[in-house]
Structure 1
Amino acid sequence: MNKLFKTIISASILSVALASTAYAKPYKIGAAVYGLKGEFMQMWVDQLEKHPAVLDGTVDITVFDGRYDALTQSNQFDTMITQKFDAILFVPIDIEAGGDAVEKANEAGIPVIGSNTKVTGDSLYSYVGNDDVKAGEMQAEAIAKAIGGKGNIVIMEGPIGQSAQIERTQGNQTVFAKYPDIKILEQKPANWSRAEAMTIMENWLTSHPNAINAVVGQNDDIGLGGLEAIRAKGIELNTIPTAGIDGIKDGIQSVKDGELYVSFFQDAKAQAQGALDVALRKLEGESYQPRSVIWQEYADQMPWGDGTAKRYDIPWTEITKENADRLLQKLSE
């Protein structure tokens, strides 16, 4: 071997060694979300990918689209376990089946941090999200107030068996039970889908002509779908107050325009980036300091502490005409 060739090899080895020292292998973290058809989950993923640790290469994120199917999510967990992911951020479609998937990851030594929706039991390392029972209560109270505590309402739910559907329904029912003059005419899942909600509402408006006084949509897409059906029937939107939840762009704009009667903003950035910070705290230990700005924004209501709390509850914000522009700006950040 000639001297020049030896020099090149030595230089190459040194270069690799220096690169390895300067840049550690990124954490491989999976984000298993229940589905990407709806705008809120698209927002959640977008905000996750804007986390500083993702932007600087500390974390390599792989997003798994669960396609609204518990078996698909279970199979995706098998893939992440086989490929030895370092941690999993989980937004489950089913509260029961999701718990089984988490147990598999726990047995493989992979921490799972929940976000947005929950699983049964205490198998999650932590949960970062909003209180959906509270959301269901708030929208029901707003609707009850809008119709003076009496009248006929319809409720369109999320996917049956998902924690958000279960808990928002619980909140709805707790409030409406206090109003004996409010009657629930119909209640049916619309699966977070604007198109499904529009079809369901069209059918209800036909089967209950001039009888529906208000609509509870358990997310903004559902509420907006209901409004489209009301508009298509030639009915003035403000005569049938309609509620949503989420604070997607169209939902906020609809409240601002006086169409959607009320909605409540859940912060996708806080959910996604907060969950990733909690995951990194689990992987790096007590020296880790959270890197997302959301911990400063919600410092009073949701303190970081040492990053090991089992639950971090992000506060809801009622969307109004007055704060709509500020919230729309927040979505663009």
Structure 2
Amino acid sequence: MTRFRRVFAAIGLMAAALTAVPAFAQSKGVAAFSQAEMTNEWRVMNTKEMEKAWKDAGYDFVWTNAESDPAKQLADVEDLLARKPDILIIAPIEYEALAPVPGLAKAAGVPLLVVDRNLPGEAGKDGWISVITTDFVDSGKRAAEDVVAQLQAKKGGAKGNWLHITGNVGASPVIDQGKGMEQVFAGHPDIKLLTNCDSGNSREGGRKCMEDMLQAFPSGVDVVIADNDDAALGAIAAIKSAGRNELLGWVWGKDGTVDGLNAILTGEMVQTVQTPPFFGADSVKAFEDFKAGKPVAPLVFVPKETFDAHSPEGKTRVEQRIGELKKLGVGCC
């Protein structure tokens, strides 16, 4: 073998050796997430799942907690955009207050995805790629339709008075759930709303709301609808403390938490409509399709389930769901 052949042979062996060594994975970029709050287990699960989905897909992941403050969330968004991420994802705490976000992202040249709650405008046209959320109008309808059915069974007709413990007033889920309830109750004018109260989606907020409303209405209340299970459970605690046991079993929640499901089994809560906190995989897909120039659905609804114990089958499903969540090591959704 000549000298040159030996050199080329050595180079070939070196190249083969290098290709045999696994290369270190390089990040696809940075995904920045502006979380609305971390006041309940739903939000904790949502953040963890979002981080896992983006990291599993090969991205670095950074996130901020707006602590239920729209002004702080706007500042968080500006800070995240200053880092020049490849994608910004926001779970807006309020609807109108976060309206500037698409303009901020556009000015920074950063694509935007909205999850959980909506913003004014239209996805795909007004500065963001897609909204990945739950059909909250449908969630409101499911609760209201069940209220109608239970009142008919109890009173022989759709009539009664109800209290509404909302989530964050001004947030799109609260607005949309309210629309769904109104659509159903509009056909039943003898079901009357007495008042509502903003719980901030917390158990303590639900308890305080219920205390105030029970004082304002010492009688004549038939139904309590809470916009999430934590607020419903707080309301149940206030009902027990006040000795208003006629309302136990007439409280509706939402989210499908273990505590909420257990309250259904004990007969203290009637129904909970699942609100899955899992938007990570859909958000990754939307962004990667966007980058590849593929069509992206402007609105994606994650699937959900309704839980109650109106039948033996329903009760069994509630028990199964508790087992499923515990097996996953989570208490939520």
Q: Do they superpose with TM above 0.5?
A: yes
Quote the Cα distance in structure 1 between the aligned partners of 2:231 and 2:69.
Answer: 19
Matched AA of 2:79: T
Asked whether the equivalents of residues 31 and 88 of structure 1 are also in contact (C-alpha less than 8 Å), the reply is yes
Secondary structure of the residue that 1:35 maps to in structure 2?
coil
Quote the Cα distance in structure 2 between the aligned partners of 1:330 and 1:66.
Answer: 31
Asked whether the equivalents of residues 96 and 119 of structure 2 are also in contact (C-alpha less than 8 Å), the reply is yes
- 1:77 is aligned to 2:65: no
CA shift for structure 1 position 26: 4.1
The Cα offsets for residues 184-237 of structure 1, whole Å up to 9 and x where unpaired, read as 111121111111111111122222123211101011111111111111123336
CA shift for structure 1 position 183: 1.5
Report which stretch shifted further, 244-253 or 260-269: 244-253
Asked whether the equivalents of residues 32 and 87 of structure 2 are also in contact (C-alpha less than 8 Å), the reply is yes
Quote the Cα distance in structure 2 between the aligned partners of 1:256 and 1:312.
Answer: 32
Number of residue pairs the alignment of both structures matches: 296
CA shift for structure 1 position 167: 0.7
Secondary structure of the residue that 2:169 maps to in structure 1?
coil
Alignment partner of 2:143 out of 136, 139, 152: 139
Secondary structure of the residue that 1:24 maps to in structure 2?
coil
Q: What's the TM-score, normalizing by structure 1?
A: 0.82
Quote the Cα distance in structure 2 between the aligned partners of 1:117 and 1:329.
Answer: 29
Secondary structure of the residue that 1:216 maps to in structure 2?
strand
- 1:325 is aligned to 2:319: yes
Secondary structure of the residue that 2:114 maps to in structure 1?
strand
Quote the Cα distance in structure 1 between the aligned partners of 2:37 and 2:181.
Answer: 24
- 1:316 is aligned to 2:304: yes
Which residue of the partner structure matches residue 243 of structure 1? Answer: 252
Secondary structure of the residue that 2:27 maps to in structure 1?
coil
Quote the Cα distance in structure 2 between the aligned partners of 1:219 and 1:26.
Answer: 36
CA shift for structure 1 position 40: 1.1
Secondary structure of the residue that 1:323 maps to in structure 2?
helix
Quote the Cα distance in structure 2 between the aligned partners of 1:89 and 1:150.
Answer: 43
Quote the Cα distance in structure 1 between the aligned partners of 2:134 and 2:181.
Answer: 16
Quote the Cα distance in structure 2 between the aligned partners of 1:40 and 1:237.
Answer: 29
Q: What's the TM-score, normalizing by structure 2?
A: 0.82
Report which stretch shifted further, 236-245 or 258-267: 236-245
Asked whether the equivalents of residues 213 and 239 of structure 1 are also in contact (C-alpha less than 8 Å), the reply is no
RMSD: 2.5
Matches within 5 A, 1:43-62: 43-51=45-53, 53-55=54-56, 58-62=58-62
Secondary structure of the residue that 2:244 maps to in structure 1?
coil
1:208–1:97 CA distance, 2 compared to 1 (3 A):
closer
Asked whether the equivalents of residues 215 and 240 of structure 1 are also in contact (C-alpha less than 8 Å), the reply is no
Which residue of the partner structure matches residue 180 of structure 1? Answer: 189
Asked whether the equivalents of residues 27 and 60 of structure 2 are also in contact (C-alpha less than 8 Å), the reply is no
Q: Structure 1, unaligned stretches of length 5 or more?
A: 1-17, 287-305
Q: Which has the larger radius of gyration?
A: 2
1:181–1:82 CA distance, 2 compared to 1 (3 A):
same
Alignment partner of 1:213 out of 204, 222, 231: 222
1:113–1:330 CA distance, 2 compared to 1 (3 A):
farther
Asked whether the equivalents of residues 249 and 267 of structure 2 are also in contact (C-alpha less than 8 Å), the reply is no
Q: Structure 2, unaligned stretches of length 5 or more?
A: 1-19, 153-157, 309-314, 329-333
Quote the Cα distance in structure 1 between the aligned partners of 2:231 and 2:77.
Answer: 29
Which residue of the partner structure matches residue 198 of structure 2? Answer: 189
- 1:127 is aligned to 2:131: yes
Quote the Cα distance in structure 2 between the aligned partners of 1:224 and 1:60.
Answer: 37
Secondary structure of the residue that 2:100 maps to in structure 1?
helix
Secondary structure of the residue that 2:194 maps to in structure 1?
strand
1:212–1:186 CA distance, 2 compared to 1 (3 A):
same
Which residue of the partner structure matches residue 24 of structure 1? Answer: 26
